C-alpha cells in the first residue's frame, strides 16, 4: 500500500529534462562515428539495466508495455556468480511477450524480451546477441555499460537506454554513448526506486531525456515504438516537402536568435533526425506543430539546442587514439624542453572539459618534474556556456572511474560531493572560453589542435573553412588530430599525413595563408550595398563579374596587407591575412576586443587612431610604430578607415609599410604589405 501511494505521489513530478553534459558544436564531442549497421531493422531496441530492486522494476515495466509493441527489450541485472536466475520465468508471468534467457548468436527480434544469464556479459553486434562468461578482465567495465555501449554502436538512433533501480553507477558511461549517437535515454525516478544509486548517477551525467516512474517509461516505450520516425525503414525515401523546408529554416532562425549559433553550417540530415526525435518525445509528427511549441516554450528551444550540439564526451575517449597521441606526438614534443618553453594546445568543441583535461594529464605525466619550468596552455572552447561552466568547475560523477585509471584518479583528482574534482595542477593549465569555431577569431601559434568528431556534423563548405582556420592557427609543422571518421581530404593542400591510422596531420609550410572570414555572433548593423553585376556573358559562359571577382580575390590574398574589421564596440568581426605579428591572445578569458588583443606597444597609437577616425569620420594614420616579434624589432604604420558612410558603424584597421630591422640596422620592407595611399 505504501509503495502504491509513493508511486502516485511521484507521478506528478515526472519530467522530461534537457541533456546538459559536448560535443560539442556545436557540437561539441561525440563518440567515434560508426556507420549504421546493414541490418538496421525498423524497430526500437531498449537496453534496460538494473541491480538491487531490479525484479520489481522489470515486472512493472513489462506490465505497462502491450505485447504488440514493435519493440525488443534486452534486460541486464547484476547477479552473483553462483546465483541461479529464475528471472525469465518470473517475468514471463507478467507479459505476453516472449521472454527468453539470452544465448550467444541469437538474433534480436521485436516483441521479445532477452534476459541475461548468471555469470555472463551480454552485448549485441550485427543484430545478434553476444553472450560471454564473465571474467575479471571484463569486469573493469560494468555489465550495464557494456550492453549500452554495444547497443549504441549497433542501433544508433533506434537505441534506447533505460536505467532502473540499483546501487553504484553502472550504466552512466553507457547512457552517454547512447545519447551521443542520437538514441533516447530514460531513468526511473530515484524516489520510486528501491535503491537509487544507479538512477541518480545516470541523471548526473546530464544526458537523460526523461526521468519517469517505471510504468510511464513502459508507456513511453510503447508509444515511441509506433511513432513513424522509428518505424520507417532507413533506406526508404522521404519526400522533401517545401513546407517542411520552410519550417526547418524557421527553426534555425529561432535557434540563432536565442543562442547566436548558425545551424545552417551543420549537416541538414543529422539536424533533421534529431529534431524529429524531439518531435517523437512530444508525440508530434508535424514539424509545423513542433515549431509552435518552440515559439511559446523557451525551455524546449534550449533543450533542442543542446540536442543538436550533442554535448557528450568522456575522459580518454577511445583509448587507442589517446595512446597514439601520447606516443607519437606528445612524447616527442615535450621531450627535454628548454626552461621557459611554451606549449599551446587547442581543443575546439571541448564540451564539459574531459578531453582538454585528459590532454593536460598526459602532458603533465610526460613533463613530470619539468612541468614547473615550462608554460603549458590548453585552450578548450565550445559554443555552449552551460557546458563550459561545468568544465571550469571540474566536478565529475563517480562513474568516471570507468574511464580514468586508479593512478590518475589519485594524482589528478580529489573526492568531492559524491564524485571527483579535477586538481588545481591540471585546472590551472586549462582555459575554457565560449567560441564558435566557424565564426570567431581562433587562437594562434599552436603546437597541437585536437578536434575529434566535430567536423562530421558540419557541411562540406564549413569543413573546408574550419580546416583553413586550423591551418592558420597552427605553428609551422604543428599537428592536427581529427576523429576516426574525419580527414583533411577537402584541404589536403594544407596538411600532410602524419599517422593516417589515427587521423594525425602535420601542417604544411605557411605559404599563402587562407582567408579568414570571421563574423561576430550578432548580425552586422550596417546595411550591405549590393554591387550591380553585368548581365553580359563571355563566350565561355562566364560573366565579366566572375573574372573581376577572381582577380580581386587573387590580388587580395597575395598582396593586400593584414587587416581586421571591428564593430562600433571595437570587437573583431572579420580578419584577413597574417595578423599574428600584431595581435595576440591575452591570458585569461578569451576576447575579441581589438584593444585587448593588439600588442601592448601598439595599443596607445591604435586607440588614438580609432578615436580620431570615429570622431572625424575619415581615415586616420599612425606612422613609424615600433614593436618586437620574437625578439626582432619591427616598425609598422597603422591606418584606420571608417566604413558605413557617415554613421561609421564599422572600422577597417590596416597595417602598412611593415619593416623589420636586420642586425646591421638597415630596414627591410616586406613586399607584400605595401599599400598605396588613396
**For position 324, what pLDDT does the model report?**
94
CA atoms within 13 A on the CB side of 267: 13
The predicted structure's pLDDT at residue 397: 85
Q: Rounded CA gap, 441 and 461, in Å?
A: 18
CATH number among 3.40.50.720, 3.40.50.150, 3.40.50.300, 3.30.530.20, domain 319-507? 3.40.50.150
More confident residue, 310 or 147: 147
Look at the block and give the residue holding cell 513489462: 62
CA atoms within 13 A on the CB side of 638: 27
**pLDDT of 488 above 60:** yes
Q: Is the pLDDT of residue 401 over 70?
A: yes
153 vs 550, residue with greater confidence: 153
Q: How high is the pLDDT of residue 94? A: 92
Q: At 669, is the pLDDT very low, low, confident or very high (cuts 50, 70, 90)?
A: very low
State residue 577's pLDDT score: 65
Q: How far is CA 133 from the centre of its chain?
A: 36
Residue 336 pLDDT greater than 90, yes or no? no
Q: How many CA atoms lie within 13 A of 69 on its CB side?
A: 28
Q: Is the pLDDT of residue 104 over 80?
A: yes
pLDDT score, position 48: 97
**Which position has the grid cell 574525419?**
486
Average pLDDT rounded to a whole number, residues 273-286: 86
pLDDT at residue 332, rounded to an integer:
92
Instruction: Write the DSSP assignment of 315-342 as a string of letters.
Output: TT-SHHHHHHIIIIIIHHHTSSPPTT-E
State how far the alpha carbon of 232 is from the alpha carbons of 235, 360, 642, in Å. Answer: 9, 45, 57
Can you spell out the DSSP letters for 455-519?
GGGB-HHHHHHHHHHHHHHEEEEEEEEE-TT---GGGTTTEEEEEGGGTEEEEPP-SSPPP----
Mean pLDDT of 538-553: 46
Task: Kindly give, in sequence order, each residue whose CB lies less than 8 Å from that of residue 569, ignoring residues fewer than 6 positions away.
Answer: none
> What is the CA angle 82-86-89, rounded to 5?
165
pLDDT band at 11, cuts 50/70/90? very low
Model confidence at 220, pLDDT cuts 50, 70, 90, reads very high
Q: Smallest Cα–Cα separation from 565: which of 526, 604, 601?
A: 526
38, 240 in Cβ contact below 8 A? Answer: no
Backbone angles phi, psi at 60, to 5 degrees: -65, -40
Q: What is the pLDDT of residue 102?
A: 92
CA distance linking residue 404 with residue 398, whole number of Å: 10
Distance between CA 518 and CA 566 in Å, rounded?
A: 11
Is 133 buried (19+), middle (13-18) or exposed (0-12) by CB count in 10 A?
exposed
CB-based contact 448:481 (threshold 8 Å) = yes
- Number of alpha carbons in the 13 Å side-chain half-sphere of residue 50: 26
Beta strands in 51-163 (DSSP E): 71-77, 98-101, 112-115, 120-125, 128-133, 159-163
Q: Is the pLDDT of residue 1 over 80?
A: no
Compute, in degrees rounded to 10, the torsion defined by CA atoms 634, 637, 638, 641: -150
> pLDDT tens for residues 108-123?
999 999 999 888 889 9
- Position 302 scores a pLDDT of 87
pLDDT tens track for 568-577 = 778 887 777 6
Cβ proximity of 376 and 429 under 8 Å: yes
Identify the helix (H) or strand (E) that includes residue 146: helix 143-155
Average pLDDT of the segment spanning 637-642: 88
Q: Round to whole Å and give the CA distance between 593 and 607.
A: 12
pTM: 0.66
Please tell me the distance from the alpha carbon of residue 139 to that of residue 147, in angstroms, as a whole number: 12
Is residue 521 over pLDDT 50? no
For all residues of the chain together, what is the average pLDDT?
79
User: Is 37-231 assigned to CATH 3.40.50.720?
Assistant: no
Q: Indicate the burial class of 439 (C-beta count within 10 angstroms; 0-12, 13-18, 19 or more).
A: buried
Nearest CA-CA partner of 380 in 445, 285, 451: 451
| 590 phi-psi bin (left φ>0, alpha ψ -120 to 50, beta other) | beta
User: How many CA atoms lie less than 13 Å away from 417 in the CB half-sphere?
Assistant: 8
Does 319-507 match 37-231 at the fold level? yes
More confident residue, 249 or 481: 481
Rounded Cα distance between 502 and 499, Å, is 6
Helix 287-296 with 242-259: angle, nearest 10 deg: 20
**544 — pLDDT class (breaks 50, 70, 90):** very low
Mean pLDDT throughout 499-522?
66
CATH node for 544-673:
3.30.450.20
Which residues are annotated as catalytic?
51, 78, 170
Query: pLDDT at position 651, please?
Result: 86
pLDDT at 159: 93
Dihedral over Cα of 247, 251, 254, 256: its sign: negative
Nearest to 263 by CA among 454, 524, 27: 27
Provide the residue count of the chain. 678
* Closest residue by Cα to residue 426 from 349, 367, 486, 507: 367
The three-state secondary structure class of 132 is strand
Distance between CA atoms of residues 642 and 650, nearest Å: 6
The whole-angstrom separation of Cα 399 and Cα 199 is 12
Closest CA to 419 of 181, 70, 60, 168: 168
Burial-class residue 67 by CB neighbours within 10 Å (0-12, 13-18, 19+): exposed
In whole angstroms, what is the distance from residue 261 CA to residue 115 CA?
44
Pure H helices in 282-405:
287-296, 298-309, 319-324, 331-333, 354-367, 385-393
Write the burial class of residue 479 (CB in 10 Å: 0-12 exposed, 13-18 middle, 19+ buried).
buried
Residue 287 β-bridge partners:
none
DSSP state of 562: P
pLDDT at 433 over 80: yes
Write out pLDDT tens, residues 17-50.
Answer: 443 333 333 333 333 333 444 455 678 999 999 9
Q: Tens digit of pLDDT for each residue in 345-375?
A: 999 999 999 999 999 999 999 999 889 889 9
Indicate the domain borders of the chain: 37-231, 242-309, 319-507, 544-673
DSSP per-residue codes, 6-73: HHHHHHTT-EE-------BTTTBB-PPP-PPPS---SSEEEEEEE-TTHHHHHHHHHHTS-TT-SEEE
**Contact status, residue 34 vs residue 156, Cβ threshold 8 Å:** yes
Amino acid at each position: 500500500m505504501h509503495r502504491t501511494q509513493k508511486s502516485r505521489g511521484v507521478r506528478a513530478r515526472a519530467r522530461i529534462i534537457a541533456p546538459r553534459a559536448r560535443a560539442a558544436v556545436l557540437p561539441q564531442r561525440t563518440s567515434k562515428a560508426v556507420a549504421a549497421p546493414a541490418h538496421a531493422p525498423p524497430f526500437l531496441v531498449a537496453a534496460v539495466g538494473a541491480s538491487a530492486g531490479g525484479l520489481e522494476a522489470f515486472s512493472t515495466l513489462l506490465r505497462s508495455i502491450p505485447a504488440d509493441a514493435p519493440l525488443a527489450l534486452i534486460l541486464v541485472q547484476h547477479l552473483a556468480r553462483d546465483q541461479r536466475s529464475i528471472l525469465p520465468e518470473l517475468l514471463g508471468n507478467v507479459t505476453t511477450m516472449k521472454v527468453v534467457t539470452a544465448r550467444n548468436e541469437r538474433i534480436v527480434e521485436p516483441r521479445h524480451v532477452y534476459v541475461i544469464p548468471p555469470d555472463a556479459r551480454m552485448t549485441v553486434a550485427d543484430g545478434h546477441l553476444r553472450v560471454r562468461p564473465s571474467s575479471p578482465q571484463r569486469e573493469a567495465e560494468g555489465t550495464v555499460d557494456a550492453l549500452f555501449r554495444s547497443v549504441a554502436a549497433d542501433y544508433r538512433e533506434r537505441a534506447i537506454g533505460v536505467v532502473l533501480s540499483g546501487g553504484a553507477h553502472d550504466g552512466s558511461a553507457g547512457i552517454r554513448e547512447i545519447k551521443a549517437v542520437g538514441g533516447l535515454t530514460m531513468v526511473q525516478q530515484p524516489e520510486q526506486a528501491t535503491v537509487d544509486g544507479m538512477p541518480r548517477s545516470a541523471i548526473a551525467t546530464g544526458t537523460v531525456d526523461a526521468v519517469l516512474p517505471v510504468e510511464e517509461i513502459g508507456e513511453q516505450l510503447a508509444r515511441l515504438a509506433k511513432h513513424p520516425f522509428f518505424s520507417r525503414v532507413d533506406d526508404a525515401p522521404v519526400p522533401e516537402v517545401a513546407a517542411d523546408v520552410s519550417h526547418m529554416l524557421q527553426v534555425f532562425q529561432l535557434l540563432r536568435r536565442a543562442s547566436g549559433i548558425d545551424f545552417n553550417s551543420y549537416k541538414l540530415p543529422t539536424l533533421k533526425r534529431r529534431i524529429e526525435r524531439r518531435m517523437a518525445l512530444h508525440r508530434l509528427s508535424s514539424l509545423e506543430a513542433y515549431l509552435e511549441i518552440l515559439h511559446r516554450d523557451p525551455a524546449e528551444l534550449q533543450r533542442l539546442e543542446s540536442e543538436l550540439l550533442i554535448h557528450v564526451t568522456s575522459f580518454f575517449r577511445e583509448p587507442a587514439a589517446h595512446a597514439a597521441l601520447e606516443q607519437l606526438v606528445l612524447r616527442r614534443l615535450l621531450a627535454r624542453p628548454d626552461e621557459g618553453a611554451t606549449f599551446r594546445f587547442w581543443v575546439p568543441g571541448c564540451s564539459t572539459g574531459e578531453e582538454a583535461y585528459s590532454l593536460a594529464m598526459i602532458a603533465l605525466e610526460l613533463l613530470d618534474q619539468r612541468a614547473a619550468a615550462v608554460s603549458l596552455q590548453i585552450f578548450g572552447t565550445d559554443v555552449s556556456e552551460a557546458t563550459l561552466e561545468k568544465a571550469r568547475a571540474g566536478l565529475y560523477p563517480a562513474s568516471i572511474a570507468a574511464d580514468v585509471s586508479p593512478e590518475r584518479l589519485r594524482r589528478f583528482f580529489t573526492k568531492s560531493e559524491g564524485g571527483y574534482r579535477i586538481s588545481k595542477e591540471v585546472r590551472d593549465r586549462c582555459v575554457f572560453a565560449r567560441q564558435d569555431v566557424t565564426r570567431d577569431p581562433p587562437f594562434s601559434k599552436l603546437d597541437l589542435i585536437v578536434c575529434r568528431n566535430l567536423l562530421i556534423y558540419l557541411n562540406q563548405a564549413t569543413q573546408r573553412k574550419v580546416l583553413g582556420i586550423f591551418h592558420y592557427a597552427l605553428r609551422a609543422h604543428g599537428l592536427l588530430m581529427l576523429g576516426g571518421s574525419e580527414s583533411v581530404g577537402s584541404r589536403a593542400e594544407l596538411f600532410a599525413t602524419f599517422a593516417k591510422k589515427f587521423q594525425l596531420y602535420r601542417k604544411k609550410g605557411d605559404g599563402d595563408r587562407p582567408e579568414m572570414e570571421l563574423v561576430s555572433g550578432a548580425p552586422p548593423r550596417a546595411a550591405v550595398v549590393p554591387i550591380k553585376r553585368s548581365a553580359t556573358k563571355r563566350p565561355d559562359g562566364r560573366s565579366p563579374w566572375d573574372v573581376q571577382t577572381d582577380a580581386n580575390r587573387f590580388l587580395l590574398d597575395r598582396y593586400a596587407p593584414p587587416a581586421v574589421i571591428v564593430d562600433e564596440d571595437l570587437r573583431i568581426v572579420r580578419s584577413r591575412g597574417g595578423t599574428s605579428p600584431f595581435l595576440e591572445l591575452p591570458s585569461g578569458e578569451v576576447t575579441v576586443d581589438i584593444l585587448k588583443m593588439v600588442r601592448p606597444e601598439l595599443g596607445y597609437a591604435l586607440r588614438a587612431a580609432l578615436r580620431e577616425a570615429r570622431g572625424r569620420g575619415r581615415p586616420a594614420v599612425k606612422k613609424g610604430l615600433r614593436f618586437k616579434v620574437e625578439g626582432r624589432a619591427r616598425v609598422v604604420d597603422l591606418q584606420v578607415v571608417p566604413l558605413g558612410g557617415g554613421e561609421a558603424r564599422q572600422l577597417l584597421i590596416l597595417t602598412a609599410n611593415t619593416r623589420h630591422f636586420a642586425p646591421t640596422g638597415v630596414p627591410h620592407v616586406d613586399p607584400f604589405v605595401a599599400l598605396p595611399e588613396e
